[in-house]
Structure 1
Amino acid sequence: MDSTESLIGMRRLLENLLSPDNSVRIQSELEFKHFMESDANSLSYLLIQTALDDSLALATRQSALLQIKRIVPLVWSPAFDKFVGPTPINQKIKGILRNSLLKLVADPDSKIRSSASYAIVQIAAVDYPDEWPELLGHLYDSTTNPDSSMFNIIGSLSVLQEIFDDVVTDQQFFEGGVAIQVLKTCETLLQNKFNSAEVKVETLRLLKSLCQSFDNADFDINGREQFCNSVIPQIYQLVISTSKNVSAEPFVNSLTAWELKYETYYILDYFMNSFSNLLESFASASFNLLLQDFSVQSEVYQQLLMSDIDTIEFDKIFTDVKQFYSSQRERKEPYPFLTTSMSKEVEFMQTLIEIQNVDNPVHLSNILDLLAHVSILPSSKIEDYNSDFNQFVTDESGLNVEIAIRDSIRELLSDINENANHILIDLLMEKLNKLGDLKANQLKAETIVFLLSCCFENDDTIVQAPSFDLEKFLNSSLNLLLSGYIVSEEFQFLAARFILMIPRFLFKFANKCKQFGVSAFTKICSVISKLGGVDDFFIVKSSILISLQYYNYFIRAKEFGTLVQNELLGLVTQVSTEATEDTNMTLLDVMTIIISIDNLELTKNSHTIELILTIGFKNDSNFTMSSAMFECIEDILKDIPKPNYDDIVSFVFPFLLQKIVEVKEEYSSDIDLCLQVLGSFLKVNSSYQIPGEIFYNTFSVINKFILVCQDDELIQSSTEALIELVRHSPELCSKFIDPETKETGIQILLRNTAKLLSPDMSDRAIVKLGDLVNLLITNFNQSIGSYLDEILRALTVRLVHATEVPTIENMILIFNALTISQPSSTINFLKSFMIDGKPALVKVLPLWFQAYEVMRGYDSILSNVRAFIEIYKLNDRDIKGIVVDGDPLPQQVPDGIIVTRSIAKRMSIKYKQIPADAKIVSLLLEELKNEITAGDHGAAVGHIRDVDNDNDYDDVDDDDDDGWEDVEDLGRQTLDQLKDYVDEQKSLKRDRVGNNDDMKELLISFFKECTVQNTSNFEDIYNQFMSDNQRKLLSEYLLFA
């Protein structure tokens, strides 16, 4: 098997798989697939031998490991979901692979170690502990064996991290002794002064991976709380000692030492946040160490802030740059890593300030100096912002996913305690006043104003009056802007910072300054005319628009008036010309505020709606942007006169329809958005009938589009638009006649409905089919009478064969409506024909129940409840004879079996089998519990149900014994006893089942009627199919709700 010829062939195959020649690569893929299917054992063996051969090129070895990762789920064991077999790899080859992979985690190359680690964890997910019991023992030994190489220790620690994330269960961790063993291993490695910094970094990463296990520990399980209380202080002591040892020597010129510091502060912050009650005694020492480290690290970090990142020679600052790169599993660059490290220390500082409630002025002054040192606007940011203002908007709008130290500082200052907040504001005002000429010290001034702005974001109660004159500070800030003194094209950031700070200042001191808000913003808007042409001062202009969102927190938009509205619209128009994704999103958010000033004024012409659509269509596939655009459309159209609405529709619809007419059959996000915009226009003012000509053009275009379209998403969107159009103007639909085919509007709707009912249509395409059929029945019942039976039969077949939950839900709503209005006819209809050899009713009812259990939306759930009540009251023998799934059967996992993630995925849950009428009672009782427990409509917003419904009753008001002294054991009383209690209350006088829209009252009335009148032999269900807990719940709610 391991002949030289075979290994050479494997090497050649791997090289061809990486070939830039597409034909060679495709042929090699086919060859590899055939090899795997015909002899997976030999393939696996040759791949691992290739990976082990360190004389080969690194790319070839990595390719071999990549292919091992690919084939393991396919050929290793049937325990993998993706297993294709036909037979699993034999035990001998498995043993060779396991041992070889453990050797490869000791490889000097970090990428080889990482790939081997991944494959080990893949295998361990199904083999550990049963088929690979020695795995953890081997890894522990490798980390602590004096003969182990540094790479072997690092690799083994890396595997342990991944195993704890993906394989080890809580039971194995706590009761199985894994936690103790890992902690001992980590302690040994961290306390060994001969271990390298790289080993200690990896050890700390292993400790970090354990944090989640402690945080999620189930303290109801005996011994776990005591264990955590005992070991967490020990872990904290171990980690802080490790950090102190690093600080005892000069470390700031070593990137690996920075990594050590990052890992220690991550763990310390995590534990201090989660278990401060156990660790308060460490807080003071931790704070001292943190400030000491931060002080020396900030000196190095500030050098980087003031430098051009592209020209920094890191190897002249740090002594171990090559080592830093070579030790990484995923490549990271020094500067972003250092930022992450400093940010983590700021986060830990925030934790300690909160725990110690720091408010000593001297202490706070020292902290502020440190923060100011690293808050300076980086040279790289200044360059980036000047070259593209969109990056400034991304950062200031909080949309940047990259870690920035300013974000961590903002979080700290905005959450600090009220006394500290007061002191810091006074200290910063003092610093600002001492600067003198702000323009001459603009970088420092921008930093101070940024820090002030962060403090103003703090919404804690003001404990005492500030030491400065609030109105004077506001006026001086405005004068700096209005005079143009700090408004400079070369350095726009100081002006921008003042603009963004002022609304936060006003909001912070709203009790004294709120009245100045409108005039302050109006004055700032007056600066717009001085900001040059369309291409100038984008950063200042953007900051004005962003600041409007802060004013909106405490000032109603209408207070600004139409002059400011027009200024802002002009500003949005200018900025939008150069705006990219995040800026476009911000512009749409700002537009909702601008519209709110006076939406009627903005509908007197088409400029504003055109601006909204222009921005929204810039990125037509961005869901968040589309949602913001729809919000703008809704806001601008709300409560406007019909002539204004007609004018806007007459402008927008032809533009959108032209786009739709030009489209081909394939998907286009642009057309999808056009269809959604049409729908949004129709939803807003549904009482207004759109102009006849616009309706006819729209109706014609959308229907023709549906008939020719083959894309699921576009069919779904066009169906939604069609539904809104017809719902909006049913009379115009009835009058419509196609000038070419002479078909009526109803005939065209039926033709499109027939297409959607076709088996060729996917579930995704017909997700709104139920709404369309309901629309036909509601509005055109007489016109479609001869087709209705055929439509409903086809709809039922589609429902039975549907797999997508939203599609099933939508079609179920049709049967809800039919059942509520004509219960007997609907059930008889479902009995009248067969689907797949069974009556349609037998196929539909289980789906109906399943759809109900995940249904969302109060109205949908209420209609379902009303339909179930009507079905139950029919007392239909066939319904009683249909057997469906009830609650899960207990004890489906044998004692001693640990349910791993992979086992859980493959488990098939078995259920009690109960008649359909008992299932209806169970679902309605569960709904009543949800209604009363959550209150009002809260429970009916949506269902996310536990499969074990019966167990949900165990916790019903167990702690409340008031009023129960004279009531017998509620779970064991007979129905006659319950009937007597209900009769005594005479509560049936409130019965309004026929027309009651309140879910709770509807259900209580239903169950009282069932109890007193034994509706549909309720007594049989009560005695045979309801548990004690369910009976207790029913009694409690009928008597005391």
Structure 2
Amino acid sequence: MFDTRSLIWEAQSPKDDVRKAAEARLIELCDADASRVFVEFARVSANPNEQLPCRQFALLALRKLVTMYWSPGFESFRGQSTVDIESRRIVRNILLQLCLDDEQVGKIRNGASYCVVQISAVDFPDQWPELLTEVYNAILKHSLAAMRLLTEIYDDVISEEMFFEEGIGLETLRIIFEVVSDSRASLEAQLAAFDVLRCCLVQMSAVDGSTTTKRKEFTFHACKEILRMWSEFLASNSVSSEKLHLSARGKVYEGLTLLKNEFSRKIVASSFGRELKALTIRDLDTAAQIYIDMIQENLDQEQLKAMNEYTVHVLEFLSAICDLHFTQEELESVLTSLSNLCCLDNNTTEQWLEDFNTFVSKETGLVPSFTIRDQAAEFMASLSDSDYSVALDLMLNELSQIQNFNEGWIFNESLLFLLQSLLLNECDTMEPVDKLLDTLALLGDIFNHSLPCIFVYCRVSLVIPKLLEKFMDNIPNVKNLVKDFLFVSLDYALSKANTVIRSAALIAFTYYAYFAELPSVLGPENCLQIQEKILGLITEIFPESEDDTDGVLMEVLNSVIDCNFEGASKETVCHTEFNLVFAISAKNPSNIQAAVESQECLDKLLKRVDSKIYAGFWQVCFPPMLNVLSGSAEISFDYSPLLSLTLQFLVILMKRKPEDEILSANICNNVFEPLQMVLNSSKDEEIIQLATEALGYLIYNTETSVVLPRLRSIINILDRLLSPEVPDEGAMNIGSLTVTVFSKFSDQIQDLIPMILEAAAIRLIQATNISTTQNLLSVFCYVTCADAQQTVDFLFSTTIDGNNGLMLVIPKWLESFDVVRGEKRTKENIVALSKLYFLNDQRLASMKVNGDLLPHESDIIITRSKAKSLPDRYTQVSAYQKIVKLFISELEFRGKHQDPQLLMAGTSMNFGYNPLDTRTMESTEEGEGEDDWEDVDGPLEYEQLKHYANEADDSGHEDLDEECLNGILRHLDSRNVQELLVDFFKEVASKNVSGFQEIYNSLSSNEREILSQNLI
């Protein structure tokens, strides 16, 4: 026996020991007799005389216990005691009645619903066949609770087979049609019915060409009836400002969009939108009139929110049927409606004026909310070519008729917003030049007048660059216009002490920088002036900037840095840019967008400075960086956003030292000790990663004689990083650091290299992180390219956990080749593995490694979950055969995926002439001689392959011999991956290196064909 109520209260006790004891007691009771516990808790939850916290806890406990004691169908089922059949019936009935009671307390009803859905996932339909019958009966009585429950059941329980084959879909649709057509049904009931209908539509949207005929026919007829029902609903109810009404109509338009976008045209004819288009445009017009009344009367935000959601759904549907085209009259009506619907309400303008950060977030698309304006912009961008041309002409005409921008500023700003949105449409059109120039003149003249509201100025600043970008091929003397409008908008922003205007000007600058090559368009003198103005604006507003705005300011800085020129004035501008990068990023180091942008800014800035400016940067930034590092020592260099950002900046500063120069001894003296403290003390993975990378660049870019006195400290750091003390993710850069130490101090550490290599081998074998594995492989690439034979001998003589080191490292290396990423790393591995192959070492030739994956051999059907528990099985091949297979696989990959840089270079030639890009473009010569090409029908026999490989000896490529493989050297830059691989195969095929003929004959037909195609 147990006291249910006492147990429940104790389980909610604020005293930790009392609560844990009660929870343990509850599990003990369930293990002994789960049926009784479940029935008692269910009765407590349904007892209106019990206190609400008690009832809530009973449901919460049931929610957790169901998965442990109800059925083996749950993963966490304990098996100690199972709820018996009669107790299940009692519990299900109690919970279901709670769910279906519209008068029940919401928290109780929701808690019971969760349990019902859980239980139905394992009991329905076999053990609980009456579930949906009871729910349907409640729905017919217009129970909102029943419809909400049915929606949840559809989301988690109803399968496609249940929906189509077991009649559940048909019965559900019948109930929905009945509720919606019932004149006695409330709007709440109809709205809930539409939610259930959406669940049905999601089920039916999966029907496609491969679906059974029965399902197709069912879906076809169902959709036909749904469209009829929706059309009647829309036609019989006019738009009103009442929230429930707007929600119900919004659900209909949301469903219509789903039908248009997600259903096969064979199920739902694309022309159905034509029948509803006129009604939709009328609804949009009515909504626009109501919206204007709302914002002028300052109605509460809940009503505006309902109108916003409704209108978004209407516009979504209009966007979906843009392929049907609009008449000019229809477009005029839509644009008139949109010019009203896109008017700013008082709450928005007040919010923007109070905090310009909210304006920046919205204007740059960083706000998660979705408004009428956002959907209107998508509609404008969705217009077809012909509709776009008509809409643009209508809007330019409307704009030209504005005599006084002082009157009705919200409508003028709305019109400009819509024009800006339309200009993002990818359609091309040839507008008359005179009309474009007149429009630009009209917009530019606005800056000469005093307007009652700043938002027109902001919108003009943002529209002009979009207009220039769209029609830069049409507009004569466009470079001068870019210059003039840039100066006008920036000068105006600087003259107004308003952060919204200033932030709009900065955002507009990024638009100009996106399409115009500003240094060449403006010239050095004008470019410098623009930079100074932009930097002045940033300096003014960044103290008040927050969150998204900081990232946007960094984006602006990025574009300003792109404009840097050589010259006497460069130093001042660079120092201002540098100071702003540090000042803005330091405000909130946890701001990921700002942190990422700031690193890009710093990296770009340092690429273009000389040693004098670099030294000036260092004097400014190192003291505060040292303060951060020293301060972090108090917490053992545990992670903090500021420490992470400081180390990221330090990595860039060490990496981007002035070209053709080295880091000074002073910098080395400043940096080494703090990094040593971090790497000897920190246990945080990210901090160790960054500090390792910074130390590697410091060593690499500093004179050897300066670093040499610290060699013992460096070796100690290597020892720690290679030890198990540092987790895998923390050791992600240890390979690069090791290679740097080897290359920098090879003479001084000859006696230590075997110890370091052994530690690196152990770390490689144990590594599970892909990035760490790749980085450690660079160590073995380096030593293999330096002396492949000595590397093999060393590994063979090394014992690791009782096993031969060579037998552990080589399989791990070959298994990891497929996940190597990056051109440089791939080439390193190819060159190093090629060196191993050319050794013709019998220890490698006889070593067996995993080859191709074998299918599971079983008469039992292997499910995905079962397959995960079965070990993978592979063919066994020699290490040399594996190298060949890996190289062929890489050749195939390279054939399917062009070099991105080559692809971009080829594509850029098709962009056409850009009048704002005055950089010279190297011309390409046509017909400079075509490569001889011979088709290959299937794989070649080895002798044929050898013949072609021998023919290629005079092709101009150097053999893949000792000279080009001596270290990871200059050849890494002279040949791409595909060329390296082709040269490798030409040599091994022509000379039958390491038994290549036998390996070739053992390859699959597909592998031999790939190789044949690449060698001819």
Could you tell me the TM-score, scaled by structure 2's length?
0.84
**How big is the shift at 1:978?**
3.5
1:571 alignment partner AA: L
For residues 206-225 of structure 1, what are the structure 2 equivalents within 5 Å? 206-209=196-199, 219=209, 221=210, 223=211
1:460-475 matched pairs, under 5 angstroms? 460-465=427-432, 469-475=435-441
Q: CA deviation at 1:365?
A: 0.8
Task: Say whether the 8 Å CA contact 1:931–1:937 is kept in structure 2.
Answer: no
Q: SS of 1:9's equivalent?
A: helix
1:933 aligns with 2:896: yes
Count of residue pairs brought into register by the alignment: 946
Q: CA deviation at 1:598?
A: 2.2
DSSP-derived class of the 1:339 partner: helix
Of 263, 270, 275, the match for 1:285: 275
3-state secondary structure, aligned to 1:785: coil
Q: Counterpart in 1 of 2:652? A: 680
Structure 1 residues 185-334: aligned runs within 5 Å: 185-192=172-179, 193-194=181-182, 197-198=187-188, 200-209=190-199, 219=209, 221=210, 223=211, 228=216, 231=219, 234-235=222-223, 237-239=225-227, 241-250=229-238, 252-275=240-263, 277-278=265-266, 279-306=269-296, 308=298, 311=300
Name the SS of the counterpart of 2:367 in structure 1.
coil
Q: Following TM superposition, by how much is the alpha carbon of 1:78 offset from its aligned partner in structure 2, in angstroms?
A: 7.6
CA root-mean-square deviation:
3.6
Change (3 A) 1:784 1:79: farther
Moved more, 702-711 or 563-572: 702-711
Change (3 A) 1:985 1:862: closer
The 5 Å alignment of 1:202-601 reads 202-209=192-199, 219=209, 221=210, 223=211, 228=216, 231=219, 234-235=222-223, 237-239=225-227, 241-250=229-238, 252-275=240-263, 277-278=265-266, 279-306=269-296, 308=298, 311=300, 335-352=304-321, 354-358=322-326, 360-465=327-432, 469-481=435-447, 483-486=448-451, 491-510=453-472, 511-512=474-475, 514-515=478-479, 516-531=481-496, 536-558=497-519, 559=522, 560-598=526-564, 600=566, 601=569
Please name the residue that 1:12 is paired with: 9
Cα distance per residue 1:2-59 (max 9 Å; x no partner): x6x532134314543xxxx4xx256414531564367456365655454444554444
CA distance in 2, matches of 1:429, 1:1022: 69
Does structure 1 conserve the Cα–Cα contact (< 8 Å) formed by 2:46 and 2:55? yes
Structure 1 residue 572 displacement after superposition: 0.6
- Tell me, in whole angstroms, the C-alpha distance in 2 between the residues paired with 1:62 and 1:795: 57
* Structure 1 position 689 matched with structure 2 position 662: yes
Describe the superposition over 1:704-740 as per-residue Cα deviations: whole angstroms up to 9, x where unpaired: 33223333322222111111111111425435xxxxx
Between stretches 333-342 and 501-510, larger displacement belongs to 333-342
The separation in 2 between residues aligned to 1:1038 and 1:38, in whole angstroms, is 74
Paired with 1:95 and 1:640, the residues of 2 have a C-alpha distance of 78
Checking the alignment, whether the CA contact within 8 Å between 2:11 and 2:18 is kept in structure 1 is no
The residue identity in structure 1 corresponding to 2:893 is N
Q: Does 1:979 align with 2:943?
A: yes
Q: Give the 3 Å change call, closer, same or farther, for CA 709–592 of structure 1 in structure 2.
A: same
Q: For 2:694, which of 721, 728, 736 is the aligned residue?
A: 721
- Per the TM alignment, residue 451 of structure 1 is displaced from its structure 2 partner at its CA by 1.9
Paired letter, 1:512: I
Counterpart of 1:603? 571
Structure 2 counterpart SS, 1:721: helix
Distance in 2 between residues matched to 1:898 and 1:135, nearest whole Å: 26
Structure 2's unaligned 5+ residue stretches are 905-932, 965-970
CA distance in 2, matches of 1:877, 1:337: 77
Match in the other structure for 1:66: 60
Alignment-derived partner of residue 923 in structure 2: none
Instruction: Give the match's secondary structure for 1:912.
Output: strand
CA distance in 2, matches of 1:654, 1:455: 50
Alignment of 1:1011-1030 (within 5 A): 1011=989, 1013-1018=991-996, 1021=999, 1026-1030=1003-1007
Q: Secondary structure at the match of 2:366?
A: coil
Does 2:660 correspond to 1:706?
no
Give the letter aligned to residue 134 of structure 1.
D
Cα offset for 1:904? 6.3
Give a deviation string over 1:478-499, Cα, whole Å, max 9, x none: 2221x2412x5xx211211111
The offset of 1:851, in angstroms, is 2.8
> Equivalents in 1 of 2:332, 2:206: separation in Å?
38
In the alignment, the residues of structure 1 paired with residue 867 and residue 231 of structure 2 have an alpha-carbon distance, to the nearest angstrom, of 42
Per the alignment, in what secondary structure is the counterpart of residue 450 of structure 1? Answer: helix
Question: How far off its partner does 1:283 sit?
Answer: 1.7
Contact in 2 for aligned 1:236/1:268 (Cα 8 Å): no
Q: CA deviation at 1:538?
A: 1.0
From the superposition, tell whether residues 889 and 544 of structure 1 become closer, same or farther in structure 2 (CA, over 3 Å).
same
TM-aligned CA distance change 1:708 to 1:986, over 3 Å: closer
Residue 831 (structure 2) pairs with residue 866 (structure 1): yes
Kindly indicate whether residue 954 of structure 2 is the aligned counterpart of residue 1003 of structure 1: no
CA distance in 2, matches of 1:73, 1:831: 54
Q: Does structure 1 conserve the Cα–Cα contact (< 8 Å) formed by 2:949 and 2:1015?
A: no
- Higher alpha-carbon deviation: 418-427 or 621-630: 418-427
Matches within 5 A, 1:739-750: 744-750=709-715
Deviation at 1:77, TM superposition (A): 7.1
The structure 2 residue matched to 1:134, chosen from 103, 126, 129, is: 126
> Which position in structure 1 is the counterpart of 2:925?
none
1:124-178, CA deviations, whole angstroms, 9 ceiling, x for partnerless residues? 77x5xxx7553796555345447876256324422333226xx84x7x589x837
Deviations 1:226-262 (A, max 9, x none): 9558735742651452353254134635534433333
Query: 1:229 and 1:462, CA in 2 relative to 1: closer, same or farther beyond 3 A?
Result: farther
In 2, distance between residues paired with 1:45 and 1:797?
58
Deviates more, 1:131-140 or 1:470-479: 131-140
Q: How does 1:802-951 map to 2 (within 5 A)?
A: 802-879=767-844, 883-890=848-855, 903=865, 906-908=868-870, 910-917=872-879, 918-936=881-899
Supply the distance in 2 between the matched residues of 1:524 and 1:144 (Cα, whole angstroms): 64
**Aligned partner of 1:993 among 960, 972, 985:** 960
**Could you tell me how far apart the structure 2 residues matched to 1:295 and 1:929 are?**
58
Distance 1:916 1:119 in 2: 57
Tell me the alpha carbon deviations over residues 748-803 of structure 1, each in whole angstroms, 9 at most, x when there is no partner: 11121122223222222222111111111111111121111111212222222233
The answer for the alignment partner of 1:326 in structure 2 is: none
Structure 1 distance, partners of 2:948, 2:401, is 81
> Which residue identity lines up with residue 655 of structure 2 in the other structure?
K
**C-alpha distance in 1, partners of 2:491/2:602?**
28
Letter in 2 for 1:478: G
CA distance in 1: counterparts of 2:1005 and 2:25, whole angstroms: 60
Identity across the alignment (%): 23
The residue number in structure 2 matching 1:329 is none
Alignment deviations for residues 320-355 of structure 1 (CA, whole Å, 9 cap, x no partner): xxxxxxxxxxxxx66445423321221211121x21
Q: 1:848 to 1:871 in 2, by over 3 A?
A: same
Name the CA distance, whole Å, in 1 between partners of 2:993 and 2:715. 41
Q: Is residue 873–residue 1016 contact of structure 1 (8 Å, CA) maintained in 2?
A: yes
Q: Match for 1:472: what amino acid?
A: D
Could you tell me which amino acid in structure 2 is paired with residue 823 of structure 1? A
The residue type equivalent to 2:363 in the other structure is: E
Contact 2:120 2:128 in 1 (8 A): no
**Structure 1 residues 985-1032: Cα deviation after superposition (integer angstroms, max 9, x where no partner):** 7445257334364322333344455555554344555565x4444444
- The runs of 5 or more residues in structure 1 that have no matched partner are 313-332, 736-743, 942-961
Shift in Å at residue 869 of structure 1? 3.3
